[in-house]
């Protein structure tokens, strides 16, 4: 049974059709998002192969990863504008073609410069998927389930991160790292076709009632003015608070699961690559559980800030333990599972950003938060890589010094989390014109 904002019961066939087809739309984009996070995390596992293929050190290796994040950073606000203006279906379809081409170019790259280009193209191409998925959720799903649905997005993200660990090791052993990325490009073409064929931007495109009607929301129009909309989000101090929280939490997630987690465990604990990748899988699983649980609990208790603050502090504590306490190898999987759970706290920043901004600007609000977070994800690993190169003769000390930079950023984000807005799971935006 569905309740309208007027409290009238609805059990109509068109509503039931909406509730069925929304999962078709969501699942296609969620599967596409698996490719996004796979590409994001994949370089850490093939670090040795990339360094050998291009004759590079830790800093240049970090730059290969960062090319993706530079592109992602550049595109976050434009992605939000595209999602709000022309819709997710067209945006994801066309940009996925660029990502597919970039993956093939990266796999076939004869030089480091071409590899950079391929990674940059991948970053540009996949940069739109997450924001379009959030936009789809705002148009096809009830607002009371917003945090839970972001948890489902986190599950999709962690599926990609999971595939970028031990399964990637086996794939590269079988096909080589180059053909693995070529194959990924071909697969992305198929999913771009699915997006064009089956994704609908709004239920109204199928003659179905939309969420605006069912929940009494303000009607979302595609003729939103870009500059006033962007100004509305950027001038909102509540947006910047959660953006600053996002930096530390998300950069930590990328460093652990994508850039330096596997190499650090190999250096610090003397693990071979597959056992080290298996350890990181424990963190990926913790992150997957965290993404689901965090959203569910927050929706149930109708509180955002206590969840954000508690997990931000736990994330900081986890990093201190990871870097400064040498644990028994048997304890590592449990610790990494719990640490992965805590660092997935960044998903709550997306929820809060949408609830403190005009609900019609879901794409732009999410894009601004991501823009700030990905700027950190682009820059910090390169800084860490330079530190590792400087301490190449003492790699254990180098990792300790490099992780100190990360810990400082996480500490700032944890502190800022205390200033986040409590929305009580409702949109609290008030226009300055009111």
Domain boundaries, the chain: 20-199+236-417
Residue 411's H or E segment, with its range, is helix 395-417
Per-residue model confidence (pLDDT) at position 83 = 85
pLDDT tens for each residue of the chain, 434 residues long: 444 443 443 567 888 888 889 999 999 999 999 988 888 778 877 888 898 999 988 788 888 888 888 888 888 788 888 888 888 999 999 999 999 999 999 999 999 999 999 999 999 999 899 889 988 888 888 777 777 787 788 778 778 878 887 888 888 889 999 999 999 999 999 999 999 999 999 888 888 887 767 766 656 555 667 788 888 998 999 999 999 999 999 899 888 987 788 889 999 999 988 898 889 889 988 988 888 788 888 888 989 999 999 999 999 999 999 999 999 999 999 999 999 999 989 889 988 998 999 877 877 888 888 888 878 877 888 899 889 989 988 889 999 999 999 999 999 999 999 999 999 888 888 765 44
Helices (H), 86-165: 88-108, 112-126, 129-140, 146-163
Instruction: For the chain, give percent helix, strand, coil, nearest 5.
Output: 80, 0, 20
CATH class of domain segment(s) 20-199+236-417: mainly alpha
Closest CA to 314 of 340, 286, 276: 340
Helix (H) and strand (E) counts for the chain?
A: 19, 2
CA–CA distance from 45 to each of 15, 228, 257, 266, 360 (Å)? 45, 43, 9, 11, 39
Residue 2's H or E segment, with its range, is strand 2-3
DSSP string, 337-359: HHHHHHHTTHHHHHHHHHHSS-G
Per-residue model confidence (pLDDT) at position 434 = 42
Per-residue model confidence (pLDDT) at position 420 = 95
Per-residue model confidence (pLDDT) at position 2 = 43
- The answer to whether residues 188 and 107 touch, using CB atoms and an 8 Å cutoff, is no
Buried residues in 75-99 as b, exposed as e (16+ CB within 10 A): bbbbbbbbbbbebbbbbbbbbbebb
- The answer to whether residues 368 and 243 touch, using CB atoms and an 8 Å cutoff, is yes
Closest CA to 356 of 292, 307, 424: 424
């Amino acid at each position: 049974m569905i309740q309208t904002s007027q409290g009238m019961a609805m059990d109509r066939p068109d509503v039931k059709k909406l509730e069925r087809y929304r999962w078709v739309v969501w699942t296609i984009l969620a599967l596409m998002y698996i490719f996004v996070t796979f590409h994001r995390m994949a370089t850490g596992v093939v670090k040795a192969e990339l360094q050998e293929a291009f004759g590079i050190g830790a800093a240049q290796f970090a730059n290969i990863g960062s090319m993706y994040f530079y592109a992602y950073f550049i595109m976050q606000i434009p992605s939000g504008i595209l999602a709000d203006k022309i819709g997710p279906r067209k945006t994801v379809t066309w940009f996925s073609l660029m990502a597919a081409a970039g993956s093939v170019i990266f796999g076939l790259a004869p030089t480091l410069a071409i590899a950079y280009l391929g990674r940059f193209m991948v970053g540009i191409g996949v940069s739109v998927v997450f924001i379009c998925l959030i936009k789809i959720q705002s148009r096809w799903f009830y607002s009371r389930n917003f945090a839970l649905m972001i948890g489902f997005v986190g599950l999709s993200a962690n599926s990609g991160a999971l595939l970028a660990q031990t399964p990637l090791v086996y794939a590269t052993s079988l096909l080589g790292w180059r053909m693995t990325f070529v194959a990924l490009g071909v697969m992305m073409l198929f999913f771009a076709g699915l997006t064009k064929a089956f994704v609908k931007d709004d239920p109204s495109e199928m003659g179905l009632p939309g969420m605006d009607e069912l929940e009494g929301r303000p009607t979302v129009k595609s003729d939103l003015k870009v500059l006033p909309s962007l100004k509305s989000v950027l001038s909102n101090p509540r947006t910047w608070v959660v953006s600053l929280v996002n930096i530390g939490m998300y950069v930590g997630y990328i460093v652990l699961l994508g850039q330096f987690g596997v190499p650090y465990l190999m250096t610090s604990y003397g693990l071979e690559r597959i056992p080290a990748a298996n350890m990181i899988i424990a963190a990926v699983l913790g992150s997957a559980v965290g993404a689901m649980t965090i959203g569910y609990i927050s929706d149930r208790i109708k509180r955002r800030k206590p969840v954000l603050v508690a997990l931000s502090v736990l994330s900081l504590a986890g990093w201190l333990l990871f870097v400064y306490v040498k644990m028994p190898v048997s304890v590592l999987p449990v610790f990494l599972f719990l640490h992965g759970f805590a660092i997935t706290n960044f998903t709550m920043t997306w929820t809060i950003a949408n609830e403190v901004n005009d609900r019609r600007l879901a794409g732009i609000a999410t894009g601004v938060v991501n823009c700030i977070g990905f700027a950190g994800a682009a820059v910090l690993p390169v800084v860490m890589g330079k530190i590792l190169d400087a301490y190449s003769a003492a790699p254990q000390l180098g990792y300790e010094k490099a992780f100190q930079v990360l810990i400082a950023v996480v500490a700032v984000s944890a502190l800022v989390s205390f200033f986040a807005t409590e929305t009580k799971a409702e949109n609290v935006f008030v226009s300055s014109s009111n």
